[in-house]
Amino acid sequence: MEKILEKALKYHKLSKEEIIELLKNNSINDKIFNAADNTRKKYVGDEIHLRALIEFSNICKRNCFYCGVRSANKNIERYRLSPNDIITLAQNAIERGYKTIVLQSAEDEYYTAEVLAKIIKEIKKNDVAVTLSIGERSFDEYKVMKDAGADRFLLRIETTDKELYKKLHPNMDFDNRVQCLKNLKKLGYETGTGCLVGLPNQTIESLADDILFFKELDADMVGLGPLIPHKDTPLKDFPANGFELSLKVMAITRLLMPDINIPATTAMETIHPNGRIIALQSGANVLMPNFTDELHRNQYEIYPGKKSIDYTKLEEGFKKIGRTISKSKGFREKTT
């Protein structure tokens, strides 16, 4: 175990078997988290990049088994924000000093690439980066939005276990999702992906494959977190016990991809009272505070109990763990 960790620290490369060994054996977890923290410090420093998250629509054409906004869920109010409302929320964040605006939504084709391009152009009149997280679209649509000024795109692969992917994502195609990620890279987006940890029948082997997939894709960002079962989904009775394992997948990802951006995800904070800080001390260097207005934020219920961030305490909390808030846009600075 110690030898594998040393190798990861030195070469940032491990075989699938070695990753499995680290994931399976819990005897040196603290050392793994510590090593990831040191790697984070050495490669991306003590600055935390804040990204303002705007959840602009929860109307979804998909029906993913774990997600509360799946189309089959009739128990939520659906909403769409107007372009003007989206821009106003972005403006609020920019006035507070945020340097990245993340536009996230369910898979809602109502917002065409052209409509989104207009919103992106308006936001890009300010000196900020724009990240999109709107799901699968065609190469041409991704291009329209890139040409409008979008800088980054988040599209989690969710799981690289094809069998499991098929079961959890009715009428979706794993290969198309991979193609989307390749298209995004080709178009010059900083590309983020990630996975869910603690899915039913998910194996340690497949989590090792997830990590290797991130590396193979050369993802610029990796966001991952534990499954939090939602009462209005088929996974409602499934246990929510993925915190420690998701932290480990994140830490190993940091060890193998030392210069990328890794968020301390909201799911980690939701499932564990101190999850955000623990993640920031186990490899994470990004935080995504929610800028959606309160009404719609609650309606964007992909999982229950979604934790928000108390801005007044944010900087204080960071100081205590020796971290500062970045004033830059926080692009990945490649070291290799």
Cα–Cα distances (Å) from 212 to 15, 162, 236, in that order, read 9, 15, 30
Task: Give strand ranges (E) for the chain.
Answer: 47-50, 52-57, 100-105, 129-133, 152-154, 190-193, 196-197, 221-222, 225-226, 286-287, 324-325
DSSP 328: S
CA dist 148 and 119 (Å) reads 9
Residues 329, 100: contact at Cβ < 8 Å?
A: yes
- Two structure tokens written together for 205: 């082997």
Residues 152, 130: contact at Cβ < 8 Å?
A: yes
Of 66 and 291, nearer to ligand 5AD (C-beta) is: 66
Of 87 and 267, nearer to ligand 5AD (C-beta) is: 267
Q: Least distance (Å) from ligand 5AD to the CB of residue 104?
A: 7
Of 225 and 330, nearer to ligand 5AD (C-beta) is: 225
Q: Least distance (Å) from ligand 5AD to the CB of residue 31?
A: 27
Q: Is 137 left (phi over 0), alpha (psi -120 to 50) or beta?
A: beta
Of 70 and 254, nearer to ligand 5AD (C-beta) is: 70
Q: Least distance (Å) from ligand 5AD to the CB of residue 15?
A: 26
Q: What DSSP letter does each residue of 36-64 carry, written as one string?
A: HHHHHHHHH-SEEEE-EEEEEE---S---
Q: Least distance (Å) from ligand 5AD to the CB of residue 126?
A: 25
Of 303 and 318, nearer to ligand 5AD (C-beta) is: 303
Q: Which of 292, 293, 294, 289 is nearest to 309 (CA)?
A: 289
Q: Which residues make up the interface to ligand 5AD (CB under 6 A)?
A: 66-67, 156, 158, 196, 225, 227-228, 230, 267, 302-303
Q: Least distance (Å) from ligand 5AD to the CB of residue 158?
A: 5
Q: Least distance (Å) from ligand 5AD to the CB of residue 320?
A: 27
Q: Which residues pair with 158 in a beta bridge?
A: 195
Of 4 and 224, nearer to ligand 5AD (C-beta) is: 224
Of 214 and 318, nearer to ligand 5AD (C-beta) is: 214
CA dist 92 and 22 (Å) reads 43
Q: Least distance (Å) from ligand 5AD to the CB of residue 322?
A: 29
